[in-house]
Amino acid sequence: MFNKILIANRGEIAVRVIKTCRRLGIATVVVYSDADADSLAVEMADEAVHIGASPAAQSYLVADKIIAACKQTGAQAVHPGFGFLSEKAEFAQRCADEGIVFIGPNPGAISAMGDKIESKKFAAAAGVSCVPGHIGEIADVAEAIKISEEIGYPVMIKASAGGGGKGIRVAWSRKDVEEGFPAVRAEAAGAFGDDRIFIEKFIESPRHIEIQVLGDKHGHVVHLFERECSIQRRNQKVIEEAPSPLLDPETRAAMGAQAVALAKAVNYDSAGTVEFVAGQDKSFYFLEMNTRLQVEHPVTELITGLDLVEQMIRSAAGEPLSFGQDDLSINGWAIESRIYAEDPYRKFLPSIGRLVRYAPPEEGEKAGYAVRNDAGVREGDEISMYYDPMISKLCTWAPTRSEAVAGMARALEDFHIEGLGHNVPFLAAVMDQDRFVSGKLATSYIKDEFPDGFAGTEPTAFQADLLTAVGCAMQRLQAQRLGRARADWTVVIGHGKQRVHLSGEGQSLSVELLDAGRTLNLADIAWRPGLPTFRGVLDGQAFTAEVAPAPEGFTIRHRAAKARVLVLTARSAELHDKLPAKAPADTSKLVLSPMPGLVVSMDVAIGQQVREGEVVCVLEAMKMQNILRAERDAVVKTVNAKPGDPVAADQVLVEFD
């Protein structure tokens, strides 16, 4: 076993590896860039080596600096985490040449699976299901029908030189092929000057399901069952779970066997993941293999009881697997929510900044579920524009899926972040959706369920009661401190009004809804003025709400429902009704930064005439570029930023006449 391991990564995965190494009694070294000098990983590691400037291309991606750090510190092995150098066969080979153990698969396996065409050849040779299709010349409609029926409907008829959505038809029957094949051929010839066509199986409402595999250097390979990763946005996973609600034991066994066969075909000897696209009918087809530890590995650890980082280290040290396939089983259900520094109310744009408050839920056993939170940050840390926007990975485990979903919803309630935009309300909204609870998932889920973006959710009947009760309790506690306690108020939420009568003592409050003729009972109140969260039990249901003071009342959020709650005297409520509506500010002549970031280019100058749709400037944050365009014809009046400038969200970049 190694005495010292260098971690060639940052953030939560560096912290994750350090935790396992500590348990195994292995000393750790982390490398760090300028941006990560004060990071949690640097604080936790036994040694730390500075390797360059903040951009990854000048630090974490420079193999020479990683090798030099290993030699400087005497580290015998290097764990690459995920991203950066983790799937670079050249780096794995370089480590071997330098006498340093690469904690991951051998260079040959990385190389074989890194090439999409080669990986499909290996998969086909290993008996792995690949998307049925015919790539080659198709002479006429008759041949197209023959091929389509051999593949099985529905099929996709695609132009070989296609692009931009042109030259594509889905055929659900023979008639569709008879009509669609000549139409696609004509469209392809007209659009691309190339009428070659190929046909492949069309997967309806596809799901993304992956199999975790684990191998050693003695020819043993097992699978650790599956993860469902269908909840994605811009091909980025958002919510993962294990096992999958789609699979039955037979399909699970078949997918696992194929993943193991592929791993054995390339002499795989570490942790890796074989990814499949699956149909709602439980058909599945090979997509690719990731030759590294996956971001979502915690859900597999929670249902198997294994530490995947430990298994990678033991395999790299030459130890054989201490268990076989028959020793493994699924215990319960686990769900992971990726907490991102992004603003769901602004089309999920990156939201960099400082974590003014960072209060995740307490880890460990709860009433009916368990919580795990993998993070590489602390309160006060800054989320940098140079790297991935992930803040943490929140996981819950429970005996059943429904309990794990309910546990995740509660854990998200208990997650409080201030200082930047984050996606906790969005994740909570998904947990509350009937479709998610039913397990009817697809890679199009977010697009299907939030076609117009995310704007929060309307309060349910329970949440409306909660908003009322919490607002009343906060008003009562503040009034008591000032010696102005009273029993009768009017609560205003949006356009709704409710007269209430309050009674109770200490941590309990009864809220009599005079207009509705019923009473709310709030118990176990845990709040005092200044606290950002309010905990309690409403009519027997425990909850946590996020609260903040607002004029005449409070802003209160429970899960994805957020409202301004006013608690007024009867006279104040009357006057409030007479206030004119506030008109929104006119920003039609301004180009505002939609996110904090760096100006990549400023494409206009003062006095320049611009047309609707022309590029005004380009911003970048967290490896994502955002192009800002003119929304109308105009003349540029002022330019307030230049390339290289850092800008804040809503900062005025350009003003038009």
- What element of type H or E holds 547? strand 541-550
Q: 211 with 274, same domain?
A: yes
**Residue 1 C-alpha from the chain's centroid:** 35
238 alpha carbon, distance to own chain's centre? 3
With a pLDDT cut of 70, the percent of the chain lying above it is: 98
In b/e form, how buried is each residue of 535-561, taking b as 16+ CB within 10 angstroms? bbbbeeeebbbbbeeeeebbebbbbbb
pLDDT tens-digit map of 467-510:
999 999 999 998 888 877 789 999 999 889 999 999 998 899 99
User: Both 194 and 283 in a single domain?
Assistant: no
Domain membership flag for residue 119: no
Highest mean pLDDT among 32-46, 225-239, 642-656: 32-46
Q: What is the pLDDT of residue 551?
A: 85
Q: How far is CA 637 from CA 19, 292, 607, in A?
A: 55, 51, 6
Q: What is the pLDDT of residues 535-567, one digit of tens each?
A: 999 999 999 999 999 988 999 999 999 999 999
CATH number at residue 470: 3.30.700.30
Domain termination residue (choose one: 103, 124, 152): 103
Q: Is residue 288 among the annotated active site residues?
A: yes
Q: Does residue 650 surpass a pLDDT of 70?
A: yes
Do the domain assignments include residue 18?
yes
Check if the beta carbon of residue 450 is closer than 8 Å to that of residue 433: no
Rounded Cα distance between 140 and 181, Å, is 8
Boundary of a domain, candidates 279, 310, 331: 331
551 lies in the same domain as 601: no
Other CB atoms within 10 Å distance of the CB of residue 219: 10
- 124 occurs within a structural domain: no
Per-residue model confidence (pLDDT) at position 164: 55
Q: What is the pLDDT of residue 196?
A: 82
Tens-digit pLDDT profile for residues 346-385? 888 888 889 999 999 999 999 999 999 999 999 999 998 8
Co-location of 99 and 179 in the same domain: no
Report percent pLDDT > 90 for the chain.
78
Quick count: other Cβ atoms within 10 Å of Cβ 360?
19
User: What is the tens place of the pLDDT at every residue in 45-86?
Assistant: 999 999 999 999 999 999 999 999 999 999 999 999 999 999
Domain count for the chain: 6
Q: Are residues 547 and 612 in the same domain?
A: no
pLDDT of residue 479: 86
Domain span holding position 220 = 206-331
CATH number, domain containing residue 97 = 3.40.50.20
| Degrees to nearest 5, angle at CA 89 with 84 and 90 | 90
Over the chain, what is the mean pLDDT? 93
Strands 416-418 and 133-134 turn out to be unpaired
Q: Is residue 127 part of a domain?
A: no
Is 244 found in the same domain as 270?
Answer: yes
Query: Does 108 reside within a domain?
Result: no
Closest CA to 316 of 328, 308, 326: 308
Give the separation between CA 417 and CA 423, rounded to whole angstroms. Answer: 10
DSSP secondary structure string for all residues of 551-563: TTEEEEEETTEEE
Does 108 have pLDDT greater than 70?
A: yes
Q: How far apart are CA 394 and CA 239, in angstroms?
A: 10
Q: To the nearest 10°, the Cα dihedral for 150, 153, 154, 159?
A: 30
Domain shared by 564 and 628, yes or no? no
| Residue 623 pLDDT | 63
- CATH number, domain of 417, equals 3.30.470.20
Within-domain flag for 114: no
Identify the pLDDT of residue 389. Answer: 87
Does any domain span residue 296?
A: yes
Domain boundary among 80, 103, 126: 103
Integer Cα distance of 480 and 484 in angstroms: 6
Query: Which of 115-122's residues contact partners 24+ apart within 8 Å by CB, and which partners?
Result: 116/288, 119/286, 119/288, 119/289, 120/286, 122/262, 122/265, 122/266
pLDDT of residue 586: 80
Query: Which of 205, 159, 165, 160 has the alpha carbon at shortest distance from 180?
Result: 159
Identify the bridge partners of residue 509 per DSSP, sorted by sequence position: 522
And the tokens for 506?
């200490």
What's the pLDDT band for 162 if we cut at 50, 70, 90? low
Q: Are both 405 and 439 inside the same structural domain?
A: yes
Q: What is the DSSP letter of 278?
A: E
The sign of the torsion formed by the CA atoms of 142, 143, 147, 150 equals: positive
What is the pTM (predicted TM-score) of this model? Answer: 0.87
SS3 letters across 99-134? CCEECCCCHHHHHHHHCHHHHHHHHHHCCCCCCCEE
Contact 362, 261 (CB under 8 A): no
**Three-state secondary structure call for residue 28:** strand
**Phi/psi at 124 (5° precision):** -60, -45
Token pair, residue 284, equals: 């599945």
Q: Of 178, 288, 319, 655, which one is the catalytic site residue?
A: 288
> Given pLDDT bands bounded at 50, 70 and 90, which one contains residue 139?
confident
Residues 52 and 18 placed together within one structural domain of the fold? yes
> Cα–Cα distance between 94 and 99 in angstroms, integer?
9
Q: Is residue 585 part of a domain?
A: no
Same domain? For 474 and 571 the reply is yes
For residue 587, how many other CB atoms are within 10 A of its CB? 10
Q: CATH number, domain at 616? A: 2.40.50.100
State the Cα–Cα distance between residues 322 and 327, nearest whole angstrom: 10
In eight-state DSSP terms, residue 319 is P
pLDDT band at residue 136 under the 50/70/90 scheme: low
Q: Are residues 561 and 531 in the same domain?
A: yes
CA-CA distance, 56 to 14, in Å (whole number)? Answer: 15
In terms of domains, do 237 and 271 share one? Answer: yes
- Cα(408)–Cα(76) distance, rounded to whole angstroms? 39
Q: In this predicted structure, what is the pLDDT of residue 135? A: 64
Residue 55, both tokens: 């951009």
Q: In Å, how far from its chain's centre is CA 569?
A: 44
pLDDT at 21: 98
- Cβ neighbourhood burial of 611 (10 Å; 0-12, 13-18, 19+): exposed
Q: Omega into 361 within 30° of 0, i.e. cis?
A: no
Higher-confidence position of 578 and 442: 442
